[in-house]
Structure 1
């Protein structure tokens, strides 16, 4: 019996299409609602894994290095992301503190670890243990990674603080800027391809 070509379903209007291999620069769009169905990507599973591991290294650096140093009357105060989160908690801004911890630390870390887990097996064309749950979790967690919002907000705050304080940018803010770029790159990768790139492991 002839194999059926893989199908592609529009997430917006549920129109079903037969998938074909895209060439460099091509984008598949829905004929009904013009939504983007799929983009061409050069990265293999190994390339995506290398990107995720790089993001993890930068993520660690962004969280252990100070973000900014403020100077006032000869006194210098520097803080890390977690220092700012703890400070907000102590200043009775628990809701903001929890949101910052979740969107800037736990959700991005969860996304990178899950993606690294499935890609570790995808390099060999296999599905990792818990593949389905990991893919669902990646879909749910995706919108909650907001490092780019933090970087933009930090830049605005630094510009305004410069009026009242001596502001020194520390390595942490540059690491977060690099992390934002990396997250943006692999956020544009359609991880649904992993369903087609991998197969169930033999029992």
Structure 2
């Protein structure tokens, strides 16, 4: 098998080839020709990323178990969870919106965290696990479709507006989603392409 020269990197936008060098803290390497980002320095190692993903999974479970908001009117109170909102949209003849909400707020984030966790578990040992290539491709395409931050911002706006008509109490679920948004933002900023360099193909 021919050895791959990992000292070289190619710009994904214009295919210009560069020789990789070690980056200092906070430094970003950009393509001279087109300005695209080639690589950036990351302080988080594989172990730290795995811990971050596990934390995000725990917070994600809490965000889906706990109520998001409680609405009160004339002495009656109703609490709502994410899946309650999705079910209501489905019953109110908005199936497309319900499916998109379920996919972007639940299924895609779950799949992304599971795939990333699986890749990092094997990467801790410096090797690529089964399905590494497929998992990395899936992570690349799933990245734009995890929209927890959009949901949190929309929920906060809705809570503020609902105060005009109801007694509104923000529950633990919305705070859990806020924490999840921060965690997702952190590991979304990590360039997972470096896992190709940190891991080796399993021996055949």
| Fold shared, TM-score > 0.5 on shorter chain | yes
* Secondary structure at the counterpart of residue 61 of structure 1: helix
Q: d(CA) in 2 for partners of 1:57 and 1:36?
A: 32
Change (3 A) 1:3 1:195: closer
CA deviations 1:39-64 (Å, max 9, x no partner) are: 11011111110000000000000001
Deviation at 1:6, TM superposition (A): 2.5
Aligned match of 2:128: 127
- Count how many residue pairs are aligned between Structure 1 and Structure 2: 202
Which sections of structure 1, spanning at least 5 residues, go unmatched?
A: none
1:138 aligns with 2:139: yes
Change (3 A) 1:85 1:5: closer
Aligned match of 1:161: 162
Aligned match of 1:173: 174
Q: d(CA) in 2 for partners of 1:18 and 1:146?
A: 35
Aligned match of 1:30: 31
Deviation at 1:5, TM superposition (A): 4.6
Aligned match of 1:201: 202
Q: d(CA) in 1 for partners of 2:134 and 2:4?
A: 27
Q: d(CA) in 1 for partners of 2:69 and 2:4?
A: 58
Aligned match of 2:42: 41
Q: d(CA) in 2 for partners of 1:178 and 1:30?
A: 34
TM-score, normalising length: structure 1: 0.96
Which sections of structure 2, spanning at least 5 residues, go unmatched?
A: none
Deviation at 1:101, TM superposition (A): 0.2
TM-score, normalising length: structure 2: 0.96
1:87 aligns with 2:68: no
More off after superposition, 31-40 vs 56-65? 31-40
Deviation at 1:97, TM superposition (A): 0.2
Q: d(CA) in 1 for partners of 2:131 and 2:177?
A: 30
Cα-Cα RMSD:
1.3
CA deviations 1:79-104 (Å, max 9, x no partner) are: 11011001111111100000000000
